[in-house]
A and B are shown apart, each in its own frame.
Chain A
Amino acid sequence: MKIRAEHITKEFGEFAALVDVSIEIPSGELVALLGPSGSGKTTLLRVIAGLEVAQKGRVFLGDEEITHATIQARGIGFVFQDYALFEHLTVAENIAFGLSVRKQPAAKIELRVRDLLARVQLSELSTRLPSELSGGQRQRVALARALAPDPKVLLLDEPFGALDARVRAELRTWLRRLHDDLHITSVFVTHDQEEALEVADRIVVLDHGKIEQVGSPNEVFDRPASAFVIEFLGGANVLRGEVHGDRGSFGELVLPWTGAGDGAARAFVRGHDLELGREPVPQSLSVTIQDVREIGITARVVVTHLDHGELVIELSRRRLAELALVRGDRAIATVRTASVFLDNPPPSQALS
């Protein structure tokens, strides 16, 4: 079922957690709310679930307005960051909770619990207490418990936040597969861009209580809407310069500028969008090799440039071997693609 939030404003005392945020989450999608801590992503999730009440704005589930509905009446499955399992109940009793409070017949509850236990691969652990489970197992119990009453949508707050790297990666793939099976509209909050890019159908990037960009993982990655988005996604070099008319100059480098406005600007270039060579070509940066690191199939080369300082370039180890570059060598770096943003964008440029 689709979720729509209109003009949500939520303040905690002086702190504005959400400022006039509007968003629509299409039915059946798996959407990531991505942003740093304090960006408002968790607050938005909790407002949708009714765990927080916004000062302004309206929330819809499908075509029904739920702005003032009680938490129970919304029929939303919620997975809490630290799971919030009922410590005194077994795994099976935790999963059954949402059904037994609705006074469902025992036989029906048992069938549903057994089905969900199998789905989250915990059938053998049904009589354990939460304190006897690992972090990943608790996470799966929390998910099964949220799914048991057949919620209209599923909301997950930092679902993998408290787990170690290997379990995280496993659960990510598992959640994606589960979503492909169930097709339940799902929204999860994360501060990990890799997680969002890998798992989500659509990413909503938030910062300071505002939406910076909404798009598919590729759109967000390839065409970041603001300097914040590309910085938050990480791995970009920054070249300082200025734009004027239809072009920007960044040291000896000239890049096209299609946006509105003039002034001081930054060009963001990802490590793998810089190419290294030995022969001088026009539109390039002359650099000195500072450090070479080989990591599996890729290599990371740190170079220094007179104006722009240190830049990090990523290339394949094969290409590095062809170039035969070592520390202290002089080389040429060319830019494949760059994202240029004004330091002080005019207000109209913010979002289209």
Chain B
Amino acid sequence: MAIRSLLSINKKKQKGVIVDRNKENSFPADLMAKCPECKKIYLTKELENNLKVCPQCDYHYKMTAFERVSILLDEGTFESFDENLRTSNPLKFPSYLEKIEIDSHKTGLNEAVLTGMGSIKGTQVVVAIMDSHFRMGSMGSVVGEKITRAIEKATEYELPFIIFTASGGARMQEGVISLMQMAKTSVALKRHSDHGLLFISIMTHPTTGGVSASFASLGDLNIAEPQALIGFAGRRVIEQTVREKLPDDFQTAEFLLAHGQLDAIFHRKEMRDKLATIVKLHAKGGVSNV
């Protein structure tokens, strides 16, 4: 199911891509961008200055893991973990490792998640940031292992753990091993939680399948970015199963909030401030110590 939803997301994604330079009647990719929501055309520079949020309609573009680090953490504080882990090919799927290699080159990441430690307004936190530009952010062994190690470090150092999810779900090429990463990350989060430590999950577009059905939903606070697609099964699969038209806002962050599935939706512009406040309110010994 996770993977099917990934397909439908791929289709959607194409609308959101910055216009290709080679296509006829298009704008230079590095200069201009067109909002997939409101169709406004503006300078890429303008978009980047606005944290990749459409200045007119608030559409939240996807971000790379490194872009998130730069808008979230205090400058120069980020230290990356486990860059030496590499994907293997346990089920021997043809051309799997080649695809990994291409995405690794494209994103500068060893896998679909960047993990590490840094500070938010002076408070140390451990973070994991998924990047949907890498195999749709799907979770295989390395993603599961990096996230689990990051959680274990947070437990060891008694630090809050913050994750930004962006994933189509399980990595199909790793079969049942990828399914088991859901359990692996969840048992690690349970131990972190039993130590009285804070875990904040921020679901960004898209968070579906096995990722939404494991760590993404296990935050002490479950937060989302506006309009993010969040769900277990893919829209198409559900439409085929129930044979009815689903509402337009189905599986959006706003839909989940209305159905009691989220604590809050934070606009990207207020994300850092709000997270800093939440972390501060959970400091050991209570607020009076801060």
A and B bound?
no
